């Protein structure tokens, strides 16, 4: 059975192995044992935190194959971005110009550097081993974070965002970076993105211009990819849009990929999940539906997928295997989202 749980330091070797499979584009899971160890330490501190003032701590979860104990995926949530260091995005705006003398009307798009997501939560660090893709594992890895946020809303912001990977080619070349960032930073895209992903974003404030960047002045290739996602990221975008995330004109300052967002309370898994009391048994397969469920814990949070019958009198019947995976018993409460 596959189960989601908080990361442990004992997972470091498995996560280092996972990071070696990511390729370019996932800078929050670098193939650096030292950096990944710090990331796990940060997550452990987040789960230990007692005060309810969301900051830049990151809750990191892993997907474990309970048959082998192997960690095969990761996903995370930053509680509140921009609270200790700036969280930069470009906002796509439009201005109108009209010349009476020449009777010319023009709409011009331009980008402004913003910190508009300060205080918002951010989902991040999603990666699933290629050997375990399919069978609902990606859905569990991504959406289980929303069950955790629904259970512990005081630990997160009022809205949640996700920076989606922008367009780049097989060599890691980003058309948007070549047209904008390279002129100001003087390094290649992967170098700058890696530095930012590892938490060093001071260079952005030092080198990135704060005046508007007019879109018509970019190369045609860069304009074409503005707000577009890498082909490998499209399934993740569709999954998040199905949860209620929307593109509102913000793009990544490095590759021009879209930053999508939603009010936390309007994310479907948050909005539609319900608390039910556990009964142990077996469901009628003819009445069972796909569901994702979790316990109500913090440090011992667990989530999994199951086939469940509709609730009856605020009770739900789950199998003993499912109960063991979640660490619950009859009479305990679980949070359930039916699909």
Q: What is the CATH number of the domain that holds 284?
A: 2.40.40.20
pLDDT in tens, 191-201: 777 776 666 66
Which helix (H) or strand (E) segment is 326 a member of? helix 320-326
Q: 234-242 and 137-151 are packed helices; what angle lies between their axes, rounded to 10 degrees?
A: 40
User: How far apart are the C-alpha atoms of 111 and 182, rounded to whole Å?
Assistant: 16
Residues 145 and 168 in one domain: no
Lowest mean pLDDT among 23-32, 92-101, 273-282: 23-32
Residues 70 and 180 in one domain: no
Residues 299 and 179 in one domain: no
Lowest mean pLDDT among 73-77, 140-144, 228-232: 228-232
Residues 257 and 278 in one domain: no
Residue 183 structural domain: 84-118+158-272
Residues 108 and 224 in one domain: yes
Burial class (CB in 10 A: 0-12, 13-18, 19+), 20: exposed
Which of 257, 272, 287 is the endpoint of a domain? 272
Residues 240 and 172 in one domain: yes
Residue 154's SS3 state is: helix
Lowest mean pLDDT among 283-287, 293-297, 300-304, 312-316: 283-287
User: How far apart are the C-alpha atoms of 308 and 288, rounded to whole Å?
Assistant: 5
Q: Which of 93-97, 116-120, 179-183 has the highest mean pLDDT?
A: 116-120
User: How far apart are the C-alpha atoms of 214 and 174, rounded to whole Å?
Assistant: 18
How many other CB atoms are found less than 10 A from the CB of residue 293? 27
Question: What is the Cβ-side half-sphere exposure of residue 249, based on CA atoms within 13 angstroms?
Answer: 11
Residues 253 and 243 in one domain: yes
Q: Count of domains in the chain?
A: 3
Residues 259 and 193 in one domain: yes
Residues 113 and 172 in one domain: yes
Residues 242 and 285 in one domain: no
CA distances from 94 to 97, 104, 222 (A): 10, 16, 17
Which of 239, 272, 305 is the endpoint of a domain? 272
pLDDT in tens, 17-30: 999 888 655 667 88
pLDDT score of 334 more than 80: yes
Give catalytic residue positions: 230
Residues 298 and 329 in one domain: yes
CA distances from 311 to 11, 278, 295, 315, 317 (A): 35, 10, 16, 5, 8
Which pLDDT score, from 0 to 100, does residue 201 have? 64
pTM greater than 0.85 (yes/no): yes
Residues 261 and 314 in one domain: no
Which of 101, 133, 157 is the endpoint of a domain? 157
């Amino acid at each position: 059975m596959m189960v989601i749980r908080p990361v442990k330091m004992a997972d470091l070797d498995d996560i280092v192995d996972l990071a070696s499979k990511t390729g370019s584009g996932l800078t929050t899971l670098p193939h650096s044992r030292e950096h990944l160890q710090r990331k796990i330490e940060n997550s452990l501190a987040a789960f230990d935190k007692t005060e309810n003032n969301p900051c830049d701590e990151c809750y990191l979860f892993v997907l474990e194959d309970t048959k082998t104990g192997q960690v095969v995926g990761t996903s995370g949530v930053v509680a509140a971005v921009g609270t200790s260091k700036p969280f930069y995005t470009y906002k796509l705006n439009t201005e109108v110009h009209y010349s009476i003398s020449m009777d010319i009307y023009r709409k011009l798009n331009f980008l402004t550097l913003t910190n508009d997501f300060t205080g918002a939560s951010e989902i991040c660090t999603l990666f699933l081993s290629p050997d375990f893709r399919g069978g609902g594992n990606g859905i569990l890895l991504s959406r289980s974070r929303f069950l955790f946020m629904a259970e512990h809303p005081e630990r997160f912001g009022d809205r949640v965002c996700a920076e989606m990977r922008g367009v780049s080619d097989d060599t890691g070349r980003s058309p948007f970076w070549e047209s904008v960032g390279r002129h100001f930073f003087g390094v290649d895209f992967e170098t700058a993105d890696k530095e930012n992903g590892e938490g060093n974003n001071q260079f952005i404030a030092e080198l990135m211009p704060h005046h508007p960047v007019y879109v018509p002045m970019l190369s045609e290739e860069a304009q074409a990819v503005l707000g577009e996602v890498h082909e490998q990221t499209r399934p993740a975008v569709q999954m998040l849009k199905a949860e209620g995330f929307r593109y509102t004109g913000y793009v990544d300052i490095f590759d021009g990929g879209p930053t999508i967002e939603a009010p936390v309370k309007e994310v479907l898994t948050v909005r539609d999940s319900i608390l039910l009391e556990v009964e142990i048994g077996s469901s009628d397969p003819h009445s069972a539906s796909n569901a994702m469920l979790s316990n109500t814990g913090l440090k011992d949070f667990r989530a999994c997928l199951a086939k469940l019958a509709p609730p009856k009198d605020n009770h739900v019947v789950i199998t003993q295997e499912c109960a063991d995976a979640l660490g619950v018993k009859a009479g305990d409460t679980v949070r359930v989202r039916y699909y």
